[in-house]
Structure 1
Amino acid sequence: MDPLAPLLDLADVAEALAAARDSVDTAMRHRALRRHGGQVAAEASLRAAVASAALEGNRHDLDDVRAGTVTDPVLQGALRVAEGVGGLVDLWPRAPRQVLAKLHVLAARGVVPTEHLGRLTGGAERIDALAALVAGNEETPPLLLAAIVHAELITLRPFAGPAGVVARAAARLTLIGRGFDPRGLVTVEVGHLAREPEYVGSAGAYATGTPDGLRSWLRHYAAAVTAGAEEITTIGDGVLATV
């Protein structure tokens, strides 16, 4: 049985997640994806990385990043993570703890001392529980599972340095690996950044463990996914305008 199924009974949660799914389905029909899917995916990955770094407090202009002039180590780590996610998709459901360590090495190199890379700073029991939830889980709907993966990691912050980059990447891996977003096009990170006060507040609410706190986070996550789907349309329109 799905251990997270009761969360779908919280008021408005199932409806919000279903609406987010519909938004993604609509965005995936954008005509730019028929012939220029690679360009859309590359731009989506870039925007997701820039947004993830911004959510760690390291904000940079997208054009400057695209031009390669930004050397900020947190941003560079987010870009490495974005590039490395594809190679970790198959490993994620088989060895979640190993993947989290790899993500931290990518994200935090040049930010924290080498001896801290890939090493937990605490919360080992909760990480074990999260790994057990992820490993081989084919029951929980992908969007719900990704939301919980993200929330657990963003509230626990079990790694030194840019732990939020790791949390957002783990959620992205879940969406990709479970087939919700197999091409990695949905820039959920952009959605979080666009609603940053809500992102921070709902994560704090989730940490309380109350039904209202859980509901607040899940509704935010659905809204961020919807915004990430809308970003696909924006990127697709931009690509078509240049070809």
Structure 2
Amino acid sequence: MRVDPLAPLLDLADVAPALAGAREHADAAMRHRALRRHGGQVAAEVSLRAAVASAALEGHSYDLEEVRGGTVTDPVVQGALRVAEGLTGLVDLWPRAPRQVLAKLHVLAARGVVSANDLGRLTSGADRIDALSALITKNGEKSDPLLLAAIVHAELITLRPFAGPAGVVARAAARLTLIGRGFDPRGLIAAELGHLAREPEYVGSSGAYATGTPDGLRSWLRHYAAAVTTAADDLTLIGDGVLATA
């Protein structure tokens, strides 16, 4: 019987309750009545905001309405939009061939930012990417989806294994994990919004994770839970807005 290698992380102080609270917030938000008749509109708005937030976390911040209006040509923003649009088509492949999906995400994110020769090509961290891929393919079904997504994100944001906007890839891979593992099957929980709203904590806790200490891991996991909780609250606000204009 295969043992979940991430299970001990749930014993870190406050981690299990934080993840459980985030899950409750997400479940409540996904019951919003706007999703019954306007689910497509809500999902499109979440996707747009997630892309804009992910680009902002890479230092390319633009007004949401300018991006919506199509006037922003920044290649990092455009890459984040391509990634957001392409997520659905990568969900099934992600648990079977994560390295292939990471390469595809980088091609989408970094086109026009890095040279064509660097698109989809690892620049560092190959051994840890192999270990992460094994975790996803061999043990992913055993792990708590939210916990697994947090580790996927942290590993990739720490390694930055691709040239250019590697953070966009990391955040997208985490979203794929939440979608594919059934935590967020419709892709409505944009953790990117929570990371941006808590950006100093995001940066600090990811740095703490990189130390590999129990306190560092705990800091990151608690942040991730808080970011997902914020994203769930944002979904509720988006749903309210859609109903108000319907």
Pairwise same-fold verdict (TM > 0.5) = yes
Deviations, residues 71-128 of structure 1 (Å, cap 9, x unaligned): 0000000000000000000000000000000000000000000000000001100000
1:192 to 171, 195, 200: 195
For residues 125-173 of structure 1, the C-alpha deviation after alignment (integer angstroms, 9 at most, x for no partner) is 0000000001142100100000000000001000000000000000000
Matched with 2:145 is: 142
Match of 2:213 in 1: 210
Q: Which stretches of structure 1, 4 residues or longer, exceed 6 Å deviation after superposition?
A: none
Q: Which residue of 2 aligns with 1:239?
A: 242
* TM superposition shift of 1:29: 1.1
Distance, in Å, in 1 between the alignment partners of 2:95 and 2:24 is 25
Pairing 1:2-41 to 2, within 5 Å after superposition: 2-41=4-43
Residue 18 of structure 1: CA displacement? 0.1
SS in 2 for 1:20: helix
Q: AA paired with 1:176?
A: I
Counterpart in the other structure of 2:94: 92
Instruction: Provide the C-alpha distance between the structure 2 equivalents of 1:25 and 1:184, rounded to a whole number of angstroms.
Output: 12
Structure 1: unaligned runs, 5 residues or longer: none
2-structure distance, mates of 1:29, 1:172: 19
Question: Counterpart of 1:62?
Answer: 64
> Given the alignment of the two structures, is residue 176 of structure 1 paired with residue 173 of structure 2, yes or no?
no
Specify every segment of 5 or more residues in structure 2 that has no aligned partner in the other structure, as ranges.
none
Identify which of 49, 52, 58 aligns with 1:50: 52
Give the % identical residues: 82
Counterpart amino acid of residue 96 in structure 2: R
- 1:115 maps to which of 109, 114, 117: 117
After TM superposition, the score normalised by the length of structure 1 is 0.99
Which residue, 104, 107, 119 being the options, matches 1:105?
107
RMSD over aligned CA atoms reads 0.4
Aligned equivalents of 1:110 and 1:242: distance in 2?
37
User: Residue type of the partner of 2:233?
Assistant: E
TM-score normalised to structure 2 length: 0.98
Q: Shift in Å at residue 187 of structure 1?
A: 1.1
Equivalence for 2:127: 125
Structure 2 partner of 1:73: 75
SS in 2 for 1:227: helix
Task: Measure, in 1, the Cα distance between the counterparts of 2:165 and 2:124.
Answer: 15
